[in-house]
Structure 1
Amino acid sequence: MFGAAPLRLMLALCALASATHDVCIKDGVFGTCVNIVNCPSAVAGIHKSHKMPKICRFEQMEPIVCCFDNVRTSTATTFSPKSFQEPTTIDDYDYYHENIEEKTCKPVPPELTAPRTGQKAWDKCLEYQEKLVYPCEMSQDLSSVTKWERRTKCYRIADGLIVGGKDAAKNEFSHMALLGYGKGSGENIHWLCGGSLISDKFILTAGHCIADRIYGVVTFAYLNLLNRSEIADNSPNKYGIKTIIKHPGYQSPNKYNDIALLELDRR
């Protein structure tokens, strides 16, 4: 819950709004992406029911929200297709081969995991452990029938407390992310902040990391990086930032509620 002071601070960040009027959609209704200061219903929703509007994006750290003020449903279908594009649906095909068994593996051994508790965060960790740390993959035996088995991809070094510092090993901290600012590639991207991958598509970072005064908003994330010299523009570990979600009560430069989420452009 956040009060009027953080809201006033957020609304006062920019007196001159830059509304681009891109088309957005929420619950099947078309709206327009505008600066939050130009959307009275969004501001009223925050004040009265603490209901956050749908964020289209951020411009200069300002929320551009999906606004439905003065939007008539009868004209919703007249928007240019260049402004709004329906998601592309790709058919899924299941291929069958008589010598390939159904993809099934035994559960992760109890000594390598822990029981579920019903707590969402904990159970999600166990789910990702099963998919990523001990994945079910094809066996490498040479039999005529392809079988599946649990593989181990745990690179954690189970040492005691480290005294004096020690270099990390390759893949040991693959969930750590380096955040980049700027457009283009190569030296045009400035890697200045960090975060941690907490799901298959979201990075947790500090609120003050969502933008830099010189280079603008965060645009890229690089995962599983051991050394900056390994950065490559065409690496599959380089991701674009699709959505920036800062804490609604974040205050700069005091850095109150200094936390944010970054949605990656792909899983």
Structure 2
Amino acid sequence: MLKFLFIITVISLQNIYTQEIIGNSCTHESSNSPGLCKLLTQCKEIRDQVVFFHKLPQTCGFEGTQAIVCCPKTRRPGSISESKCLEYVSYTQEKEICGHKIVKRIVGGDRAGSAEFPHMALLGYQSKNSDNLRWLCGGSLISEQHVLTTAHCLFTSSQFDGPKLVLLGVTNINDPNHRQEIKVVEKVAHPDYKRGSVYNDIGLVKLEKPVEMTSYVRPACLYTDSVIHVTDGIATGWGSTESVGRSKSENLLKVTLKIIDHQTCSDSYKNATNLDKGIVNDIQVCTGGGNERKDTCQGDTGGPIQIYHSSDATLCTYDVVGLISFGRACVGAPSVNTRVSYYIKWIEDIVWPDNSQ
């Protein structure tokens, strides 16, 4: 009888202890941000990190065998992007036909496979003097209805109105197969971008309707870490294939470029008159071909610098780490790209507003 009462007392004390823990305030050690102690099953953000990214959670205690974790009280920038990345992966084909292949040598580039970069987009511009449509900027599909590009690609020029149409699903501009052309209904440049500037050069295009998800049309993931943990990135685009002249490619090209350290890049642009702040490492990342004649060029602007997503849960998927912004000629000084991770919260608030509270 005494043993039975002891067991009941222990169970009751455990229940009281558990109830006291759940709902308590906690602080995330890594970010020093506030959180609440919740059961792991009740905290989707931490659960996704455990299941898909194999990150150990910060625990407050346990209820039986179930962890009580420190769940973020406010949304962590990047959490929506990571969740959406996992969602879009369901459209991936088998590994052996997803097209991933590192290339050693756009200027000096190779042709991309037909479904290798299913997030690649082209922005079409209407001529002011004719009915001609010109594909002048690149972009990356990042949701069912949004394309990420540079801010300077969104504005009207003396020859062309802003982007009117987005082309998806093809590697050859003239290929009718798998082709999706969708009208642009909204253009949003970053609020801190000033026309003609090279800073905060990032923008979003909203499509008239959601894309049809296929093996040839699927969003990329966004890279959320401020530090890029690899040495190479892959640039893709339909831009010029010559360092002199403007011979654009009808085929999507890919090229592997070195990620250039901040000091080297800054030294390359120290006399540039349009860089009053120099190269700003927080918001820009530089790439180049080293001693090889490889680079991005005219017509690639707005397109992505991407790396392979490392998680097995996101097979055949790329992370967009940068947007091709500007350079000096096509081969020479490093190209300067907008660093996507700095703008994650701004992107999420616009693209997924229902999840941004």
Q: Is TM > 0.5 for Structure 1 vs Structure 2? A: no
Per the shorter chain, which TM-score range? 0.3 to 0.5
Relative contact order (alpha carbons < 8 A, sep ≥ 6): 1 or 2 greater? 2
| TM-score of the superposed pair, with normalisation by structure 2 | 0.34
| TM-score of the superposed pair, with normalisation by structure 1 | 0.44
